[in-house]
Amino acid sequence: MSDIFREVDEDLRRDRYGKLWKRFAPFIIGVAVLIVVGTGGYRYWQYSQGQKSAQAGDELLTAIDAGNAGNHDQALQELAKLSNSIGGYPMLARMREAGEMAASGEQEKALQAFSAIANDTSIDQQFRDVAAIRAGYLAVDLETRDQVADRVEALTDAASAMRAAAWEIMGLAAWKAGDMNDADKWFSMILEDTATPADVTTRARMMQSLIQAAKGPAVASGDDAAASDKGNSQ
């Protein structure tokens, strides 16, 4: 008797499952299709992005090679292709474009290009700081000392990763303005900072030598004048 009840129970269960399948089968199949299509679409998107990234990388390398070979116009043409590229390539292209302008002698255009990047709040702060430093070096020859300071003074803080370059720019601006004491102060800060890059340290030592040479005649002149006054008084 128990076998009969078991068979009836199994028949009822199968009948119940059959009804449930007929009811929900379209939804289950639809979800399965969406998963398959979505996975395939995502895989294709990944492949497409990889292809675009590889192409952008090749174009950037081509531009860099052209610039290094002195073909700045070709480099700029290659970089222009990256303006609507993916990832960080458009930003890298903007930085490189400004550098190519500077290398080709278009200092004013390069200064404007770096300034635009430095003032673009949609860009990562690290890129903006680098652009501000690049603009600062150009500005030493193109702008007043105060204008140069406006560009890089915020980066002279001891906590700034760009402090050594900012100090160098401030020192060069002071040197150009004839303020040897202030220039000496900035270059001394560079030499006292153990984290300063070697190339910046080397240039700072050179500038301090020039500063001392510039100060020398004035000191000697002052000593001669004092000696002359002493002789006259006797």
Are the C-beta atoms of residues 155 and 175 closer than 8 Å to each other? no
Considering only the C-alpha atoms of the chain, give the largest distance between any 2 of them, rounded to a whole number of Å.
Answer: 145
> Rounded to whole angstroms, how far apart are CA atoms 136 and 173?
9
- Which residue did the predictor score with more confidence, 152 or 45? 152
pLDDT at 64 over 70: yes
Neighbours of 16 (CB within 10 A): 10
Q: Which of 8-12, 163-167, 173-177, 189-193 has the lowest mean pLDDT?
A: 8-12
Percent with pLDDT over 90 in the chain? 48
Q: Stretch 167-189: mean pLDDT, rounded?
A: 96
Reduce the DSSP state of residue 188 to 3 states and report it. helix
pLDDT at residue number 3: 55
The phi-psi region of residue 71 (left if phi > 0; otherwise alpha if psi is between -120 and 50; otherwise beta) is: beta
pTM of the model: 0.70
Q: CA 25, 30, 35: angle at the middle one, nearest 5?
A: 130
